[in-house]
Structure 1
Amino acid sequence: MNASEPSHYDLETDVLVVGYGCAGAAAAFEAASAGAEVLVLDKAGGPGGASALSGGEIYLGGGTPIQRACGFDDSPEQMAAFLRAALGPGADEQKIALYSAHSVDHFHWLVERGVPFKPSLWDSPTWVPPTDDGLMWLGENSWPFAELAAPAPRGHRPTAQDFGGKLLMDVLVSAAESAGVTAQYDTAVTDLIAAENGSAVGVRARRYGQELTVRARRGIILTTGGFVDNDQMLAAHAPRLLGHTKVSAGTDDGSGIRMAQAIGAAVRHMSTGQVGVSLVPGFAARGLVVNGRGQRFVTEDTYPGRIGQAALFRQDMDIWVILDEQAYEEVPEPQRWGVQPTHVAETPDELGALLGLPAGALEATLARYNEFAAGGTDPDFHKSSRWLRPLTPPLAAIDIKAGVRPPGQTTARRGTGASVFTLGGLHTTVDGEVLHLDGTPIPGLYAAGRASAGLHGEGYISGTSLGDGTYFGRRAGAAATATDRLSVPIIGTGH
């Protein structure tokens, strides 16, 4: 929308934040704490977004008090080395370096806002620990990462049983409100308002069927999330993510990305996505994960999202978890998430036939694995000796399409075995400035969280959404507040 169109503005504020997840809350807090008048608009009926539904893990390291209390030495350099490798081709090295260097400070910022962390470690592969332990491994001690950076657990969890995203958001929203932030809900922003010089000066929105316009005197920060809920955008940019369970609050429709693109914003990595695979990490680590040809294709004790990406992008979700009775029984019942074997047989060949695998394939895979596991080695995928043990018949297989039942849910998540969200988004600087296609910042426009491309390349690690979102949300809030556009007239509006 051109700034010459509206005859007046219904609302005015210094900094306008669109979206009230973790990035929006962090941005709003920083802007308000710097003395700006801050308004947050969210299309939902309250704050939280996908952040409130998450496990709550925040990727932090470099020597936090929780790491030290659990006996781990870490440095920003080792953290950055791991993230560069784990976040894959195209990862933003400048953002990774900055985030790693400031990670301990960001931990203290979260604690000062009221986020609690317990100084204890959950030491087994899992999606979300069934305890309130404050630290967990996220693949740092698995191959190949243990050879690229000194292993240290960096998954920091708010003190909550199971999923901690709601606790995190309750704390961040309370902090923002205490700083003077105001919010309007059930308000869907539909357009950016751009001045003749190309700068973003306001938005048009709809609330209860009524149109309203809002002027932002200093800056607009888009924290509207990704685009997994928009099948048209998925078809155009990330077709491999179509047809799977969506990890979102139902509002990740790409609206912020599209609005910014309409005034010339550049995007990055739009084809990338995270894949939560419907397997229990404790079962995978103790057994085998094989494809439709009966072959292993990934180290089973790694970060489970890495298994998920390999399963979708390289195996089209045609995978099975193979284990024996001991492997199944070693995982306590509450940690099984309702998963039970779907096929059982007395021999590998019989099990392979039940699964429709090529004759002899599973038998050959298992024989090779057992031979090396008996000696405590895994030359093919370098699984840790902690999890290596020959599997003995009878054997079982788990069909990932049968789904899992996360804590607090009464039915299993069934489908393709994949639960996905997008990683690509607006191209931003380390201060959240949205870049134009020509590489220059669009004046007055900022973005953070999943609306931006963030740290990520093709890879993903749990906690890098909440960590990236809160940290770079803070930087966007500070940068927008520092912008001095208070005296700039908006042509054609009478202001």
Structure 2
Amino acid sequence: MADNSDDVRPRTATGIEHWDHEADVVVAGFGVAGAAAAVAAAQAGADVLVLERTGGWGGAAAMSGGFIYMGGGTPLQKACGFDDTVDAMKAFMKAALGPGVDEDKIDAYCEGSVDHYHWLADEIGVPFKESFWGEPGWEPPGDDGLQYTGGENAAPFNATIPPAPRGHVPQMSDKRTGEQGGGYMLMKPLTDTAAALGVRAEYDMRVQTLITDEEGRVVGIAAKRFGKDVTIRARRGVVLATGSFAYNDTMVESYAPRLKGRPAASIEEHDGRAIRMAQALGADLAHMDATEVAFFCDPQLFVRGILVNGRGQRYINEDTYPGRVGQATLIENDNKAYLVIDEAAYEEGLSRPTSSPQLRHQPKWVAETVPELEAEMGLPAGALQATVEVYNRHAAGGEDPLFGKKPEWVRPIGSPVAAVDLRGMTGGFTLGGLRTSVDSEVLHVTGEPIPGLFAAGRCTAGVCAGGYASGASLGDGSFFGRRAGRAAAGA
């Protein structure tokens, strides 16, 4: 659990007679944002020190599926036969990641995306296999390098924005979802490059407060190591990159209460400390209620049926990005969902490859007819029948006029029919945090940068203001982590 008892108010450098460590740039956190910042600062000629709370590098990034959201015509997209443009990428991100996106950040992110791909692949050595995974799923079950990860090819976006897959995943042998995924093969080259550039790392360091000089400039960090106070001086700048606040119950309850008790795809070190440290200096926040929401069901199953809420009504096109399904379920439908599917479709789904076999749930109710199923589920008489009747009427012609599900997935629901109980099957992490500039400067509530302080990754409000696409966290963290490192080195 998060420790909220320690004082996060800044200390002044006056009176600190001895610094235990010092460097030009001091980075707090050795996940993807911190590693990218460290490498970029070192490439800019700075002496860099990383402070990491745990016993080794990696953070949540190393355990993730490894998606990096990139586009605009990357070599991997082209090799897999997809045409993408910067304008299409911008249009999609602004439509899907809002409301209230930071358009300047998205513009910079999209315009710099191809360059970022080359930085990762050519300079850092992140491997990408030139193959596309086109089936439903949270991530490729094998080592394919490209996948749709935001619903770009589904309604409502595909009607107006040319779709292209932008989920780039590093190639990983002996992949184990949630333990050693593609994220490891992003972090390993990044940290190897950092070490080769002379970046130093101090582990088991729990950052506590920021240290400022008499003019209010951030000049260091106070930390604890095994209970002992440690002071670290930053000659040029401090970069905060310690992750989200998904495991700080008090902050979640205050800002994103729907996620309380259901953190996922995050780690216990995500306690919001960096956010609170910067807040104590007057830092501004943004989109603190925004959350990614995972939906704990295999997309190979639910794409072949219909998802209904607690009233027996459909609420989304089932062929979209499963993270959109999760958000719609938790936020708009009281976290109540059922998958209604016939036996043939269910068996077909089970026969397809998946990266998440643990999410292939057994039906809770089975019946010969929809009225019987409806009664067993305890739904109001006629509610599910009306839903299935309307769906089947149009599905007979391969159409879904209500939600725009693609014809390839639209089939009438037959008999016998079943329902999978998916109530409460969601979890996620927070997307809001410190308001930063396009150069990753932490902004004061006045809108001015706080001198000497930079931040990147999930402790900031990045390109996602409300919606989400898989790869946005590692993409945002590495892209703006680079910018934070460069800016701090030149501060």
TM range (shorter): over 0.9
| Counterpart in the other structure of 1:119 | 130
2: CA distance between counterparts of 1:349 and 1:7?
78
176 and 439 in structure 1: CA distance in 2 versus 1, 3 angstrom threshold: same
1:449 alignment partner AA? G
The answer to whether the Cα contact below 8 Å between 1:16 and 1:221 also exists between their aligned partners in 2 is yes
How far did 1:179 drift? 1.2
Please tell me whether the aligned partners of residues 425 and 451 of structure 1 are also in contact (alpha carbons under 8 angstroms).
yes
Residues matched between the structures, number: 469
What amino acid sits opposite 1:118 in the alignment? Answer: K
In 2, Cα distance between equivalents of 1:81 and 1:422: 23
Q: Is the aligned partner of 1:220 residue 2:238?
A: yes
Confirm or deny: 8 A CA contact 1:81 1:148 kept in the other structure: no
Contact 1:82 / 1:148 at 8 angstroms: preserved in 2?
no
Which residue among 144, 155, 162 is the counterpart of 1:143? 155
List structure 1 runs of 4+ shifted beyond 3 angstroms: none
Which structure 2 residues correspond to residues 337-376 of structure 1 after superposition, within 5 A? 337-338=357-358, 339=360, 340-376=362-398
- In structure 2, which of residues 243, 257, 276 is the aligned counterpart of residue 239 of structure 1? 257
Residues 40, 182 of structure 1: 8 Å contact kept: yes
Retained in 1: the 8 A contact 2:300–2:352?
A: no
Aligned equivalent of 1:429: 437
Tell me which residue corresponds to 2:464.
Answer: 456
TM-score, with length taken from structure 2: 0.94
* SS in structure 1 at match of 2:474: helix
2:84 matches 1:66: no
Q: Aligned to 2:60, what secondary structure does the other structure show?
A: helix
Structure 1 residue 400: Cα displacement: 2.1
SS at match of 1:458: coil
CA RMSD of aligned residues (A): 1.2
CA contact (8 A) 1:229 1:246 kept: no
How far apart are 1:211 and its partner, in Å?
0.6
Task: For residues 355-404 of structure 1, give each alpha carbon's deviation from its aligned partner in whole angstroms, at most 9, with x where no partner exists.
Answer: 22111111111111011011111110000011011110111111225xxx
The answer to whether the 8 Å contact 1:114/1:171 transfers is yes
What residue is the counterpart of 1:79 in the other structure? Answer: 89
Is the contact made by 1:228 and 1:234 (CA closer than 8 Å) also made in structure 2? yes
1:386 equivalent to 2:396? Answer: no
Q: Does 1:193 align with 2:204?
A: no
* Matched letter for residue 43 of structure 2: S
Offset at residue 127 of structure 1 (A): 0.4
Quote the Cα distance in structure 1 between the aligned partners of 2:30 and 2:55.
11
SS at match of 2:479: helix
Whether 1:313 aligns to 2:331 is: yes
Letter in 2 for 1:117: F
Q: Tell me if 1:174 matches 2:186.
A: no
Q: Which residue of 1 aligns with 2:145?
A: 134
In the other structure, the counterpart of 1:157 is: 169
- Aligned partners of 2:75, 2:81: CA distance in 1, in Å? 10
2:29 aligned partner = 19
Residues of 2 paired with 1:55 and 1:477: CA distance? 25
Pick one of 29, 44, 61 that aligns with 2:39: 29
Normalising by the residue count of structure 1, what TM-score does the alignment of the two structures yield?
Answer: 0.93
- The alignment partner of 1:121 has SS state of coil
C-alpha distance in 2, partners of 1:229/1:473? 22
Q: Which of these residues, 269, 276, 291, is aligned with residue 294 of structure 2?
A: 276
1:205 aligns with 2:223: yes
Identity %: 54
1:185: how far off?
Answer: 0.8
Q: Aligned AA for 1:442? A: I
Q: Per the alignment, do residues 74 and 333 of structure 1 end up closer, same or farther by CA in structure 2, a change over 3 Å counting? A: closer
**Cα deviation, residue 178, structure 1:** 1.1
Q: CA deviation at 1:333?
A: 5.9
Conserved 8 A contact 1:245-1:418: no
Aligned equivalents of 2:45 and 2:63: distance in 1?
Answer: 31
Contact 2:127 2:185 in 1 (8 A): no
Contact preservation (8 Å) 2:264, 2:294:
no
1:192 to 1:99, Cα distance in 2 relative to 1, 3 A: same
Change (3 A) 1:440 1:245: closer
Could you tell me which runs of 5 or more consecutive residues in structure 2 were left unpaired when the two chains were aligned.
Answer: 1-10
Task: Give the CA deviation at 1:334.
Answer: 5.0
| Cα shift at 1:29 | 0.2
Distance in 2, matches of 1:324 and 1:355, equals 15
Letter in 2 for 1:196: E
Post-superposition shift, 1:183?
Answer: 0.4
Tell me which amino acid in the other structure corresponds to 2:42: A
Amino acid at match of 1:426: L
Q: CA deviation at 1:117?
A: 0.7
Distance in 2, Cα, partners of 1:388 & 1:450:
37
CA distance in 1, matches of 2:352, 2:166: 26
Determine the structure 2 residue equivalent to 1:183: 201
Does 1:479 find its partner at 2:487?
yes
Q: Is there any run of 5+ residues in structure 1 with no aligned partner, and where? A: 402-415, 484-495
In structure 2, the residue matched to 1:251 is: 269
Measured in 1, the distance between the counterparts of 2:12 and 2:255 equals 28
SS of corresponding position for 2:427:
strand
Larger mean CA deviation between 180-189 and 318-327 belongs to 318-327
Report the alpha carbon displacement of residue 439 of structure 1 after superposing the two structures with TM. 0.5
- 1:276-310 deviations in whole A, cap 9, x for unaligned? 01111121211101000000011111110001001
Hey, what's the Cα distance between the residues in 2 that align with 1:326 and 1:118? Answer: 34
Residue type of the alignment partner of 1:318: K
Structure 1 165/424 Cα, relative in aligned 2: closer, same or farther at 3 Å? same
Distance in 2, Cα, partners of 1:418 & 1:377: 29
Q: CA contact under 8 A between 1:20 and 1:47: conserved in structure 2?
A: yes
Matched with 1:489 is: none
Give 3-state SS (helix, strand or coil) of 1:246's partner: coil
